[in-house]
Structure 1
């Protein structure tokens, strides 16, 4: 079995370098920044909107006085880039959002129109799992846990890929047997429902 590169699976580039700790500087910045934000908002009880407005106010104040002092002292102006979002970026984001929305609508169609029990139970299980996990944490803590997992799981998987893959193959075989049995039960239930509709 050929092992795929974790670096290529993550898309390569700066994101993969950060998640696999190949550029320790960016990984450390992400870890420290997310930890500070979590402590600030979760433990210190600081309000996100208040933080955003105060940070923007401070930034505007600094930039204003930098620009005024630069004109008086013949110094360069603040290095503010052109803050324009390109049309290509907007189209790419809209295309990605369209794929997700269409997938959700297709799932809804399978449940509501086609009466697909397998899709219904899959959606119910997924939503229940999200709700169950969400009952233990608030949204900010869940995001912070996601950041910690994204900085640790790819790194550890790359180190122990062959051992993890062996275990995952065994789990996949067992889960496919279970899912086949569940699928057969759901097919029998849907066939009995169709027979009942025909007899009525």
Structure 2
């Protein structure tokens, strides 16, 4: 049996999110599935729009807090326990760091295509964008998010259970695709060289 340098739990960050995605916290994972399904049903099947649901939820929350505060002052009860409602600098810095990594990855790909003229990256980019475009034609944005949430909750535990078999199959598929991609690149390179010599 092959040894793996990192487990799926480590690859997912090793924290509470990894526990939820790998169903080690079954209640939280089930709640995530139910919550995502309810949100998808409310917006997709019931026909509500996100701004109206958000406005109604905030209206209900404000009304409850106002009535609680008024009744607390009349009945000499404690005020509603509200947390400190501000975003810390640490949260903003972490979000900016994550966004910066993704933006830089996209810029590197763009640089490789435009400046280095890397055919392999160009063809990979075209294939990925075509697949995303094709899937986008089949589903609307909310359904795509719902499918992504469901896959993120179902695929990691299956991968953890069958990691060796999945790695073997993906390795074989990657080598086949890489060979085909190299063949396409070599043929396009030959055709451009032939045009230059003519």
Return the TM-score normalized by structure 2. 0.89
Structure 1 residue 134: Cα displacement: 0.6
Aligned to 1:59: 61
* Residue in 1 that maps onto 2:83: 81
Indicate conservation of the 8 Å contact 1:19/1:27, yes or no: yes
1:175-194: CA deviations, max 9, x gaps? 2322332232243345456x
SS in 2 for 1:110: helix
Counterpart of 2:180? 178
Match of 2:50 in 1: 48
Distance 2:104 2:161 in 1: 37
User: Which stretches in structure 2 are left out of the alignment for 5+ residues?
Assistant: none
Offset of residue 69 of structure 1: 1.0
Partner in structure 1 of residue 97 of structure 2: 95
Q: Does structure 2 retain, via aligned residues, the 8 Å contact 1:70–1:76?
A: yes
Residue 110 (structure 1) aligned to one of 112, 125, 132: 112
1:134 aligns with 2:136: yes
Partner Cα distance (1:103, 1:142) in 2: 23
- Are the counterparts in 2 of residues 117 and 190 from structure 1 also a CA contact under 8 Å? no
Counterparts of 1:94 and 1:160, CA distance in 2 = 35
Deviations 1:46-83 (A, max 9, x none): 11110000100000000011111112212221111112
SS at the partner of 2:85? coil
Number of equivalenced pairs: 196
Gaps of 5+ in 1: none
